[in-house]
Amino acid sequence: MKVYLVGGAVRDFLLNLPIKDRDWVVVGSTPKELIKKKFKQVGKDFPVFLHPKTFEEYALARTEKKFGFGYTGFKTSYSKKITLYQDLLRRDLTINAVAQDKNGDFIDPVNGIRDLKLRLLRHISKNFQDDPLRILRVARFSAKFAHLGFIIVNKTMYLMKKMVQNRELSFLTSHRVWNETKKALVTQTPHVYFSVLKRCNALSILFPEIDYLYKINYFLFKNYNLGEQFLFSLSSFSKNNFEIDLRFSFFCQFLVYYNFFIKKNKNFVYKDIFKDILIKNMLSRLDVPIFIRNLSVHIANNYFFLHNIFSESSYNIILLFNRINVWRNPIIILKIGVLSDFCIFFSKCKNNCKKNKIGIFLKIIFFILNSVSVKFIIQQGFTGLWINQELIRLRTFVLDIYRLRIFLII
């Protein structure tokens, strides 16, 4: 039995990047032998085991043969006769097909080290197109390594386009799509992920809401569309904001602008419903976690209110706080403030956004309003529904006083 370090750990080591997880390939062994050595089996489709001490993943060398559609239509073979080379050749990209033995020597059957030096993302063989998930993986690796200068080889991009034409993406589950998307969103350049999907025509299938932005002209520039502005803004926003819920909620804001750029319609209620359906459909289709979903819905539904908050009444501001339930989840007001302070069209509105510190205003009024005591209201004899009504009245009064003082100072 021989054990080799493979995949991302070897790739990141050669790129002088921090290694997060280490995966191993076992050659010349069987499941029974590993179980005898107290390895715990976790794989169902193919044998993957956890080391009894390190809990790192050890997989038996295997080969895969396509027999159906999608990413599940594979027949997996594993035995003592499967070699390391055979296992490496089944992988997606050359940079992921480098192994390292116990002596520190590298096994590189497809010139992955060369492509690492040349900063190229290259498929290993035509078998690359057997798995539609690889389209998302290449897009994610492009986002992960864009700051290092990596680009996709033309032949690889051609295969990705061909896979899209063959409708292989329709076999991907929402879990798989979201899993790759969330990994891309936490990279240094998440906008590259969507750019690659656009180039291979996968964006219209996986994210039709975003793809439609490319059909809407951006009124501030000639020959410029909202799709390009989306990539530009996401890139700028991501430089200082790293949380996944902030980044995902940020591009949900673009769907709000369907209200302005779709064909004029006097029925404004229809427009708002159209916007809400787009956002909710995308969130449910991707199976987005609830903490990201809540922030996305709040920022999208209240986008225009927040950007006009200085002219809104104190009563309406308090109703907004009640709707998003900031009293039980104060952190959400901080995140909404961050999103509101970054204007989507900041290239033309940068100076104006600096004047309107929405985030600071939201934090100040939250602390002011949270100081209003419910116990005091109960002590005054209010009960039942009257408690909430009196709480809103007092908060409105306190906020009006604060805003009046600020106005007089200014």
Provide the percentage of residues in the chain whose pLDDT is more than 90: 44
Model pLDDT for residues 330-379, shown as the tens digit of each residue: 999 999 999 988 866 544 444 444 445 888 999 999 999 988 888 888 88
CA 268 to chain centre: 31
What is the average pLDDT across 101-122?
Answer: 95
| CB neighbourhood size of 251 (10 A) | 24
Q: Are 101 and 88 in contact (CB under 8 A)?
A: no
User: For residue 38, is it left (φ>0), alpha (ψ between -120 and 50) or beta?
Assistant: left
- In angstroms, the CA 74 to CA 80 distance is 20
What is the average pLDDT across 246-269?
Answer: 65
Amino acid, single-letter form, for residue 167: R
CA 332 to chain centre: 18
Listed in sequence order, the residues at least 6 apart from 65 whose beta carbon sits closer than 8 Å to its beta carbon are 74, 75, 77
Return the pLDDT at 265: 42
Model pLDDT for residues 7-50, shown as the tens digit of each residue: 899 999 999 999 988 999 999 888 888 888 888 888 666 788 88
Output the CA–CA distances (angstroms, integers) from residue 268 to 156, 258, 364, in the order listed.
45, 11, 33
E-assigned strands of 10-66? 23-27, 40-41, 48-50, 57-60, 62-66
Domains of the chain and CATH, by start: 1-117 (3.30.460.10), 119-189 (1.10.110.30), 308-329+354-410 (no CATH)
